[in-house]
Amino acid sequence: MAEQASPHYPVMLPDVLQAMKPAAGEVYVDGTMGAGGYTKAMMDEAGCTVMAIDRDLSAQATAEKLKADYGDRFVFLSGCFGDALSLVQAAGLESVDGFVIDIGVSSMQIDQPERGFSFKNDGPLDMRMSQTDDVATAADVVNTYSEEALTQIIREYGEERHGKRVAQEIIKERAIAPIETTARLANIVRDVVPKSHKDKIDPATRTFQALRIEVNDELGELDRALLAAEKLLKPGGRLVVVSFHSLEDTRVKSFLRVRAGLVSQGSRHLPQQQETAKPSFVLPTKKALFPSEAEIAANPRSRSARMRVAIRTENPVMDIPEDKFKKGGRE
């Protein structure tokens, strides 16, 4: 039986509301509804409409309650936030006034051992955001991927410098018996990754992050969501993205810097009209915003959060190859 779930805290909620500036009659997209924290707060703040997206079936109960409480001002869209453009258009709209995304796994999912996201409680190695999706689970990944593929995933998505050692140990252990639980995988990783006295995180943390990203195509979803936001937002519309690790934040930062004209588009491989494209976003601040010390004390899971904000201009969508915004330094 799952343990009692911890309270849900919408991360950086006051900052999100200040950035979104919800207003009566406007329409906003909450790309990652979860427990409905941002969605409810925006509707409480103003007489606006929120179109909330979630692919997790467990969000259905939250959606039904919000519908009962807010009526037509709440619209639930079942699906992935990377498909926001087609989901919103299918619901009858071509543009919206704001788009907020809180990337990553939710507290509710972490607190359910049967979901397999956390090693704090033993459970099956699943890690799918939607357990109805016909995609490989984390168990499928660790038991079928080659050593080379596992090494690449753990190094790239987990930023684990001991990725090859972890992959080799997984290969060795799965030859004895399939790796099917979070506890067994965590112990396998701990056997070969030394505990860091600098960041004090569990040695298994980065490997679990890598597998979760692989299973759910999280970085691909983020890329598609950023492109969708650029197409959906009206002039003056606001994009707010809350991320929790450098892989996500670097992608968001790089996308916004290109779209705000802060990175040269010049290339002999791009048509002339793309080289001179006008910025599709302006950035109120080039720096990421971080949670307050008070919020971190109340909700330790928010400590790694960072938020970026952009405002849509009147200029057309920038037709720039996706890989143009997948690189960039941290700030």
> Which residues lie closer than 8 Å to 265 by C-beta, 6 or more apart?
258, 274, 275, 276, 277, 318, 320, 324
Instruction: Judge whether 265 lies within some domain.
Output: yes
**At residue 110, does pLDDT exceed 50?**
yes
Please check the confidence at residue 105 and state whether its pLDDT lies above 80. Answer: no
Q: Place 9 in a pLDDT band, splitting at 50, 70 and 90.
A: confident
Task: Look up the domain containing 277 and give its range.
Answer: 13-107+218-325
What's the rounded Cα separation, in Å, for the pair 100 and 107? 18
- What is the mean predicted confidence (pLDDT) over 59-74? 94
Whole-number pLDDT of residue 329: 37
Average pLDDT over the chain reads 87
Q: Is residue 197 part of a domain?
A: yes
The torsion angles phi and psi of 183, rounded to 5 degrees, stand at: -65, -45
**Number of domains the chain is built from:** 2
The reply to whether 123 falls in a domain is no
Q: Percent of the chain, pLDDT > 90?
A: 69
Contacts of 102 (CB under 8 A, 6+ apart): 10, 11, 31, 32, 34, 38, 242
| Mean of pLDDT values over 43-71 | 93
User: At 252, which CATH number?
Assistant: 3.40.50.150
Look at residue 199 and tell me if it is in a domain: yes
At residue 309 the predicted structure's pLDDT band, cuts being 50, 70 and 90, is: very high
Give domain status of residue 176, yes or no.
Answer: yes
CATH of the domain at 150: 1.10.150.170
Identify the residue with better confidence: 302 or 178.
178
Confidence of residue 5 (pLDDT cuts 50, 70, 90): very low
Who contacts 275 (Cβ-Cβ below 8 Å, separation ≥6)?
Answer: 265, 266, 267
